[in-house]
């Protein structure tokens, strides 16, 4: 279904409906935490279902540089499984050089919290995209706890963490961010007392669900989480369920591709992660879920999606945005096919993701002849139910995996091919994306 020339990939229409069942790779957020928490733990943890992608490889490389022993092997399904022996109460080792976090914001931001309690110096850096992303939101609360960062007041990577001697805090976060929340909680595990973080809206709660699996008690409400230190994580056994953010692209493809009916199995149904299904339901899409089990405290199950010819615009309130922030690009594409206007409220966080996703969404939809615009921090999309994709379109992923997959759906579910620059960015989260979607159309 694709042809590549240099950095341009041609995505051809599927030609037939998507039908049947499939799996998606392990959840990226949970995979990061499984690697990082196991590295912090005393003893050897057993992990399975870990996503093998560029981002997770960044976390694996980072903890190795800090003294953890990682023995993960590729499984027949493409996942990683094996043992991780952590540094435990001895703490991380002084790294020999800078730690390269690649394109992974989760790796670098969580590492700041992990390193903050320990008397070492570690310089964190990343690729050109990661070096543009804001880090002050993480360093600010950690500095209140007693950590130091060099250069002082630095907003972007590279940043050197100078840790040691933390005290607990209660922190009112300026934005809903699971990365910010997790960094503060991980640092708070080594402070003497209770560290609490309050959020303006709910964010992903994987950390609060997973830390107790490592023997660290957490308390969590809808917009608050806390941990009491000192607390030393112990080795655990973790099974990583499928990634709902990856599943979202298959689900949205089925909704837009005539005649399609698919099931995505063994995918995380964590309520903080399946907001995209609620948005699709508000658009009138035929989407349903059924729980089949749990991995620790993480529920998993099946998401079923069917082609829906009559979609309608909807409004997504600001308090729901944190739960769908990674899926907004593909939801915006679905909204482009809906009758009426769809509004995503307060989406300014899109401006500081792997790229400026907000500008990229508006520019990409304009190529389709769809009106999309911002009013303040709100994104408006005026859908076209009979959207006809013009021939010869070329999109630029801007090195962003979510944008690469989103624009590929224009070609896959449409009637004419599209070209995508730097499509290989999908390797950050879902290397087998095209293979999986094409298999459903055979």
Q: Which whole-number Å values give the CA distances from 16 to 206, 410, 412, in the listed order?
A: 37, 15, 10
Q: 232 lies in a domain?
A: no
Are 106 and 63 in the same domain? yes
Give the end of a domain, one of 226, 254, 288: 226
The reply to whether 366 and 222 lie within a common domain is: no
Query: Does residue 429 fall inside a structural domain?
Result: yes
Could you tell me which residues are annotated as the binding site for phosphoenolpyruvate?
28, 105, 133, 179, 357, 402
| Residue in the structure block whose two tokens are 């953890």 | 68
C-alpha–C-alpha distance, residues 96 and 157, integer Å: 18
> What CATH number does residue 156 fall under?
3.65.10.10
Mean pLDDT for the stretch of residues 249-275 = 97
Residue among 408, 402, 407, 409 nearest 425 (CA): 402
Is residue 404 in some structural domain? yes
In degrees rounded to 5, what are phi and psi of residue 161?
-90, 125
**pLDDT at residue number 6:** 59
The domain boundary, picked from 165, 196, 226, lies at 226
Q: 153 burial class (0-12, 13-18, 19+ CB within 10 angstroms)?
A: exposed
Q: Are residues 69 and 210 in the same domain?
A: yes
Note whether residue 203 is domain-resident: yes
Burial class of residue 128 in the structure, from the number of CB atoms within 10 Å of its CB (0-12 exposed, 13-18 middle, 19+ buried):
exposed
Whole-number Å distance between alpha carbons of 308 and 253:
11
**Counting Cβ atoms within 10 Å, is residue 200 exposed (0-12), middle (13-18) or buried (19+)?**
middle
Question: Are 258 and 197 part of one and the same domain?
Answer: no
Q: Are residue 318 and residue 423 in the same domain, yes or no?
A: yes
Spot the catalytic one: 27, 100, 326, 436. Answer: 326
Q: Phi and psi at residue 174, in whole multiples of 5°?
A: -75, -15
219 in any annotated domain: yes
Instruction: Answer yes or no: do 245 and 257 share one domain.
Output: yes
Do 311 and 391 belong to one domain? yes
Q: What is the pLDDT of residue 222?
A: 85
Count structural domains, the chain.
2
What percent of the chain lies above the pLDDT cut of 90? 93
Q: Are residues 363 and 384 in the same domain?
A: yes
- pLDDT bracket for residue 130 (50, 70, 90): very high
Structure tokens at 206: 């994987």
Residue 385 and residue 297 share a domain? yes
User: Which pair of structure tokens corresponds to residue 304?
Assistant: 């079923």
pLDDT at 197: 98
Confidence class for position 129, pLDDT limits 50, 70, 90: very high
How many residues in the chain? 442
Which one, of 38, 5, 33, lies nearest residue 237 by Cα?
A: 38
Same domain for 164 and 268, yes or no, is no
Q: For residue 120, give its domain range.
A: 28-226
What is the band of 329 on the pLDDT scale with cuts at 50, 70, 90? very high
Alpha-carbon distance of 300 to 298, in angstroms, equals 7
CA 51 – CA 416 distance, rounded (Å): 32
Average pLDDT value for residue range 149-166: 95
State residue 191's pLDDT score. Answer: 97
Question: What value does the mean pLDDT take over residues 324-349?
Answer: 97
pLDDT surpasses 70 at 354: yes
Q: Are residues 21 and 32 in the same domain?
A: no
Confidence of residue 3 (pLDDT cuts 50, 70, 90): very low
Structure tokens at 151: 């250069």
Cβ-proximal residues to 393 (8 Å cutoff; 6+ apart), any chain: 367, 368, 410, 416, 418, 419
Residue 9 in any domain: the answer is: yes
234 within domain boundaries: no
Q: Tens digits of per-residue pLDDT, 57-83?
A: 999 999 999 999 999 999 999 999 999
Contacts of 435 (CB under 8 A, 6+ apart): none
| pLDDT exceeds 60 at position 93 | yes
- Quote the pLDDT of residue 162: 97
End-to-end C-alpha distance for the chain, whole angstroms: 11
Q: Is residue 235 part of a domain?
A: no
Task: Clarify whether residues 194 and 269 are in a common domain.
Answer: no
pLDDT in tens, 362-421: 999 999 999 999 999 999 999 999 999 999 999 999 999 999 999 999 999 999 999 999
Q: Model confidence over 199-251: pLDDT tens digits?
A: 999 999 999 999 999 999 999 888 999 999 999 999 999 999 999 999 999 99
Q: Mean pLDDT over all residues of the chain?
A: 96
Known catalytic residue at 326: yes
Per-residue model confidence (pLDDT) at position 1 = 46
Going by their DSSP bridges, the two strands 341-344 and 315-316 should be labelled as: parallel
Question: What is the C-alpha separation between 202 and 179, in angstroms, rounded?
Answer: 12
């Amino acid at each position: 279904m694709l042809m590549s020339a240099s950095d341009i990939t041609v995505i051809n229409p599927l030609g037939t409906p998507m039908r049947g069942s499939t799996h998606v790779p392990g959840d990226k957020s949970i995979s990061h935490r499984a690697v990082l928490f196991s590295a912090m733990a005393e003893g050897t943890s057993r992990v399975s279902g870990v996503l093998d992608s560029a981002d997770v490889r960044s976390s694996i490389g980072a903890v190795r540089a800090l003294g953890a022993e990682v023995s993960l092997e590729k499984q027949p399904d493409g996942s990683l499984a094996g043992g991780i022996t952590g540094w435990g109460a001895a703490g991380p080792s002084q790294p020999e050089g800078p730690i390269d976090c690649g394109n992974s914001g989760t790796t670098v931001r969580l590492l700041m919290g992990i390193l903050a309690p320990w008397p070492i110096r570690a310089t964190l850096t990343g690729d050109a995209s990661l070096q543009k992303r804001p880090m002050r939101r993480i360093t600010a609360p950690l500095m209140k706890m007693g950590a130091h960062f060099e250069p002082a007041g630095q907003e972007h990577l590279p940043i050197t963490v100078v840790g040691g001697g933390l005290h607990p805090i209660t922190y009112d976060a300026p934005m809903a961010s699971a990365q910010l929340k997790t960094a503060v909680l991980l640092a708070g595990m080594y402070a003497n007392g209770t560290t609490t973080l309050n959020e303006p809206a709910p964010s992903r709660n994987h950390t609060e669900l997973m830390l107790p699996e490592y023997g660290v008690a957490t308390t969590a409400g809808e917009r608050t989480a806390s941990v009491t230190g000192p607390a030393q994580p112990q080795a655990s056994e973790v099974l990583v369920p499928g990634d709902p953010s990856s599943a979202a692209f298959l689900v949205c493809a089925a909704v837009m591709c005539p005649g399609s009916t698919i099931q995505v199995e063994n995918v995380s149904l964590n309520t903080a992660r399946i907001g995209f299904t609620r948005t699709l339901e508000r658009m009138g899409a035929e989407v349903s879920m059924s729980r089949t089990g749990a991995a620790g405290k993480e529920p998993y199950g099946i998401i079923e999606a069917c082609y829906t010819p009559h979609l309608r615009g909807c409004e997504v309130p600001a308090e729901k945005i944190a739960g769908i922030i990674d899926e907004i690009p593909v939801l915006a594409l679905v909204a482009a096919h809906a009758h009426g206007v769809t509004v995503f409220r307060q989406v300014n966080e899109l401006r500081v993701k792997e790229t400026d996703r907000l500008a990229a969404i508006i520019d990409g939809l304009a190529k389709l002849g769809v009106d999309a615009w911002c009013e303040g921090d709100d994104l408006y999309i005026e859908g076209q139910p009979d959207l006809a994709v013009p021939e010869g379109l070329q999109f630029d992923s801007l090195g962003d995996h979510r944008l690469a997959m989103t624009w590929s759906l224009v070609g896959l579910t449409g009637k004419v091919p599209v070209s995508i620059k730097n499509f290989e960015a999908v390797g950050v989260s879902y290397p087998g994306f095209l293979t999986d979607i094409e298999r459903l159309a055979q």
